[in-house]
Structure formats: structure tokens, C-alpha cells
Structure 1
């Protein structure tokens, strides 16, 4: 079963400094048909103007992943972290018992483009933690999140894995799936077809009871594949 979520169908929140596109219900966007997918609660694609961003605000009991596509994020939090997350880097936080943090675009000219992803954890009230890093670009899949931090991935407090796939064009690929798991495919960039469904940048696909993905690329592509219960 395939559930298509085209980019233009997402919710939209905006301000004079922010354009934000919501895959699932978030803030003032509410759609009972799109509340979450398995433990995926938020996938927001944000475009943040120079020298603007999200001031200090709280979170608790949520796994928060940020993937910076263009620009850089100036990050500060109540754990004492003060750092920048640059284009191509991932940042992971376990909010756990509670954190405050801010995420701001420090550049005077360049728009910040990122994905922010919230995952509901399977453990509550853990000690908050923070990590960030960049993974080497390569053809095929790279493990980004896993419960046991295997193969250099970040630990996630949930029964899930996140893979980043990168393929050049033209190419034909197959990815084997577990029929008893659910998957969410989020296109980061490029044009491709997945089991006959044509997708473009920012489109997404929910996947259940499928034995494999048949991928055909018509441009260089990058997508995130969430392996969920």
C-alpha cells in the first residue's frame, strides 16, 4: 500500500521571516487525516530568513532531528551546547525530561533551508542529550539513526531506523523491505519514480505491506527512508 503526500498538499505556515511546510498537523495547521505516521510526528521543511529564527523555547519527551540543506544554524541549549550546524549536517536531540533551545540563521544574506523532524520516543523522561555530524556522501544508503547507534549512526530512542539514499541519474535500483514494517520516504531533491509513482523534490510516500521499492531516477536524487513499526 502506498500513501502519496505531494509537496503542494502539505500545510503551510508563514511569517515575514519564515516559510514552513508541514507534512503532518502542526501549529495552526490541523488535518485529522495527517496527524502522524507510525512514530513520525513532525516533518517540517523550513526556509528561514537571514538573522531570524526560533528564539529560546522548551521541549520534552521528543526526539528532534534537524537536517540542514542550505545555510547554517546557530544552536544554543540549556545543556550548555553552543554550536553551528552547517549544510549537509544532521543534528539530533533527545528532549527527555526537558530542554530549552534556540535555532537561528546567523547569516546576513543567505536563507537557511532545513528539515526538522520529530519522532515520538519509546522511553520517557530520559536525560536530555545532543549530537551533530556530517555523513559522507555516497551512492546508495547511509544509516543516519538507529536504536543501537550501529555503523556510526546516531542513537534514537525508538524502534526505527533512518536511511539517507543518494543515487545519480539515470539509474534503476531496488531496496528490499520488511512486509511487517512501515516506511516513510521523503524526497529531499530530484525526480524519481517509486513502484511506478512519480515523485519530485519535497514529495513523500507512506509505504506498508510492500516487499521492495523499485527506484528509477531521472535526475540525481536524495531521499530519506524511515523504517518504522
Structure 2
């Protein structure tokens, strides 16, 4: 079963310095039909004006992923990390028993665009941790997050996997889905076509349940990029 959630159907928040689209219920946006998918709880598509950002705030027992689409994030947290996260890099912050952090647009002239993703952990408490890495722009599927950090991936406290998918024109990828597993696809750039001919555009999401395989194809002449979540 394949269920599509189009970009324009997402929740919206506007604060002047921040424009955000919410795939799932978040903040003042509430939809009882969109409370997450498996352990995936939040996908926020955030755009931050130059020099602005999120002041120091706290998290607990959540795996928080940031993926920068444009610009740079200036990150600071209560464990002593002071980092910059440029476009194309992934950050995983395991909040554990509790962490305080701030996120700002590191530029005074350029906009910042990034995805903020929350995944509920399967282990609560423990010391918070921080990971950051770029995984390049290889075509096909590239592993980003795994439970055991294998093959140089970021290690997440959950039975899930995140892949980056990049396809050029007229290329396709067939994903094998293990029994009892689910996929969530978040389209980032370009367009991908589902087996029934439906086209996914930036911001669109797809829930995939009870399928053995899923074939995604790029029939447009611009490169397509998406995130693929493998979830229990």
C-alpha cells in the first residue's frame, strides 16, 4: 500500500524569521491522521532568514537529524560542541537524558534551508551524543544512518536506516523491502516517478506498507534526490 502526502498538504508555520512546513503534527499544527510514521515523528522543512535562528532550548529522549539544503547552520550545545554544518552534511544529535542546544543561520546575508527530522529512540536516557558527516553525491542509494554505525554511517538508537537516493535522468532504483518493514520517502530535489506513474515533487512524502519492492525512476532531465527511511 502506497500513500502519498503532497507538499502543499503539509502544515505551515510562519514567524517572519522562519518559514516551516510540517510533514507531521508539530507545534501549533495538529492533524490526528499525521502523527508520524512508525518511529519517524517529525520532518520539518525549515527556511531561516540571515542571522536568525533557534535560541537555546532543550530536548530529551529523541534522535534529531538535521540535513542542510542551503547555507550553513551554526550549532552550539550543552556538551561543549560548537560546530558549523554546511550544505550537504548530516548531523545526528542523540538527546539522551537531556541536552540544550541552539541553531542559527551562520550567514548574515544568505538564507538557510534545512530539514529537521526526529526519530523516537529505542533506548531512553544515557549521555547525549553528537555526530556530523558528509556522504557525498554518489548516484543510487547511500547509507546515512544505521543502528550499528556500519560502513561509516552515523549510529542511531533505533531499528531503522536512512539512505540518500540520487538518480540522474532515465535512471531507476528498485528497493527491496524486508517482511514487516515500512518505507517512508521524502522528496528533496527534482522528481521521481512511482510504479503507477505518480510523480513526486519536492516536499512530497510517501508511506509504503505491505510491499515487497518499490521502484523509483527519474524521467526528468534534472537530477532527483530523496531520503529513504527503512522503518520497523
Q: TM-score range, shorter-chain basis?
A: over 0.9
Q: Which consecutive residues of structure 1, in runs of 5 or more, have no partner in the other structure? A: none
Whole-angstrom distance in 2 between the partners of 1:87 and 1:68: 5
Are positions 1:203 and 2:204 aligned together?
Answer: yes
- Alignment of structure 1 residues 72-151 onto 2, 5 Å: 72-151=72-151
Whole-angstrom distance in 2 between the partners of 1:216 and 1:145: 23
Deviations, residues 102-154 of structure 1 (Å, cap 9, x unaligned): 00002111110000000000000021000111012111111000000011100
1:99 deviates by 0.4
Are positions 1:227 and 2:230 aligned together?
Answer: yes
Q: CA RMSD in A?
A: 0.8
Whole-angstrom distance in 2 between the partners of 1:84 and 1:122: 28
Deviations, residues 136-185 of structure 1 (Å, cap 9, x unaligned): 21111110000000111000000000010111012233222123201100
Deviations, residues 40-84 of structure 1 (Å, cap 9, x unaligned): 000000000000000000000000000001000000000000010
Query: What does residue 169 of structure 1 align with?
Result: 169
In the superposition, the TM-score normalised over structure 2's length comes to: 0.97
Q: Which consecutive residues of structure 2, in runs of 5 or more, have no partner in the other structure? A: none
Counterpart of 2:151 in 1: which secondary structure? Answer: helix
Paired residues in the alignment total 229
Counterpart of 1:195 in 2: which secondary structure? Answer: coil
1:211 deviates by 1.2
Whole-angstrom distance in 1 between the partners of 2:138 and 2:177: 21
Whole-angstrom distance in 2 between the partners of 1:211 and 1:194: 14
Which segments of structure 1 move beyond 4 Å, counting only runs of 4 or more?
A: none
- Whether contact under 8 Å (1:194, 1:216) holds in the other structure is yes
In the superposition, the TM-score normalised over structure 1's length comes to: 0.98
Counterpart of 2:8 in 1: which secondary structure? Answer: helix
